[in-house]
Structure 1
Amino acid sequence: MSFITFNIEQIKAIVFDLDNTLVTSDIDFTELRKQIGCSHDDDVLSYVEQLKCDERKLLANKLILEHEIEDARHSDTLPGCHSLIQFIHSNNMKTAIITRNCEQAAKTKAEHNKLNIPTIISREHFPPKPAPDSLFSLAQQWNLKTHQILYVGDYIYDLQAAFNASMPSCLVTHGEEKLYSSSASLVVEHLHDIEQLFDTHYYSETSRAS
């Protein structure tokens, strides 16, 4: 997988993944997979979706929800989160959250961490990432081209979703080496690096204009 070229001058909106991008997430996926009978190699949501037994599917979704809600209640913001969100609003850029979490857990996590991002798209609204449907929907809603939106995430699904939507991606590593970093349009260690990048750009633009 390649990536879409990032051009900071064209960006009018910054959209975020939620878990381990804006806020922490400590879901024990090994235990969750064990509880629902999902192998290590299978995607949890895809596994549950293909279950033929309605009772097993209902139970699996219940267990996932319990893990997500518990995780939401104990989550914390990651460094630079609130400052970057405030920067986005101050510069009249659009923003939203697109997450594979369920709506209840995502909203609980956003409220718990006081995230000033009203638009939250969860797996109930569109097929989960790496499907690009949610990103296409935002672009249409905002009347923007996909290359004018930067999607920020921490995992390969985020990069794939952005690529599938012909959208530039930003991988936040939080100081960890990521095997898929070459698939991102932009790689930063922390959220405040994104703010600094855009702030420097806007400062340069103002200097040239004056």
Structure 2
Amino acid sequence: MKFKAVLFDLDGTLVNSLIDIADSINKVLQENQLPTHSYEVINNFIGSGLRVLVTKALPETHRNEENIEKFFQAMMLHYRNNCTNKTIVYDGITELLKELKSRNIKMAILSNKADELTKKIGLTLFPDYFDIVAGLKSEATKKPNPEAAIRICHDLECTTEEVLYVGDSDIDMQTAKNAKMFAVGVTWGYRPEEELLSEGAQSIISHPLELIELL
């Protein structure tokens, strides 16, 4: 099989955004006299979108719809203005993107982060590489629902079998499987290798440039 495109997750795959995310939710919690969390704990909250992260970060006694919405909006207000402060590109990613571009491989980003924020981070840190940058527009199409991934393939004029899906979480591997893409798990992100393999990773890479071998 000749792969014609690569679809990347964002957080934990292309960029380490943990500190900016954690600082935003902790600021909101602190302002409301609620317990904050360590980076290690918040690391385990990432992957299913910021609303889910907010829900997990709140004490169980505060997890009602009114509070979730209130804290979600407060976090979004802070994070929107600070989402690229301390977010960094993983080592080797820029070199990988340059190599893929030189080979005329099409590239896209699909994240469970809100579409507005995905575009801001993706286009700020990677202005020259991606054909499509897409985030979450509707809870109904949140990964591992394959709908958005399949739509991106259509827009890239590829079949799903011609796409490498690269991600760092169980959600990503499930999405790739549901979309019938080749699932590549990365070990530098937020989840362990064992989780990626158990959820269907067809290949595991420990450095971005290892992806070239799969082409």
* Partner residue in 2 for 1:207: none
Match of 1:148 in 2: 162
Which residue in 2 is equivalent to 1:185? Answer: 202
1:157 aligned counterpart, secondary structure: helix
Which residue number corresponds to residue 137 of structure 2? 124
Say which SS state the counterpart of residue 7 (structure 2) adopts: strand
Partner of 2:116: 104
Structure 2 unaligned regions, length at least 5: 35-40, 56-62
- The answer to whether the 8 A contact 2:185-2:193 is kept is no
Question: Hey, what does 1:22 align to over in structure 2?
Answer: 14
Indicate conservation of the 8 Å contact 1:73/1:108, yes or no: no
Residue of structure 2 equivalent to 1:93:
105
Question: Quick one: distance in 2 between partners of 1:63 and 1:152?
Answer: 28
Partner residue of 2:60?
Answer: none
Deviations 1:43-91 (A, max 9, x none): 55358799644x7525423314533652422111111111111222211
The alignment-based identity, stated in percent, is: 22
TM-aligned CA distance change 1:75 to 1:52, over 3 Å = closer
Question: Which segments of 5 or more consecutive residues in structure 1 lack a partner in the other structure?
Answer: 1-8, 202-210
What is the alpha-carbon distance in structure 2 between the residues aligned to residue 67 and residue 84 of structure 1? 28
CA RMSD in angstroms, aligned pairs only = 3.3
Once the two structures are TM-superposed, the CA of residue 143 in structure 1 deviates from its matched residue by: 3.0
1:84 is matched with which residue: 96, 110, 114? 96
Asked if residue 70 in structure 1 is aligned to residue 82 in structure 2, the reply is: yes
- TM-score (norm. length: structure 1): 0.73
How many angstroms apart in 2 are the aligned matches of 1:87 and 1:113? Answer: 17
Q: Who is 2:58 aligned against?
A: none
CA distance in 2, matches of 1:65, 1:170: 33
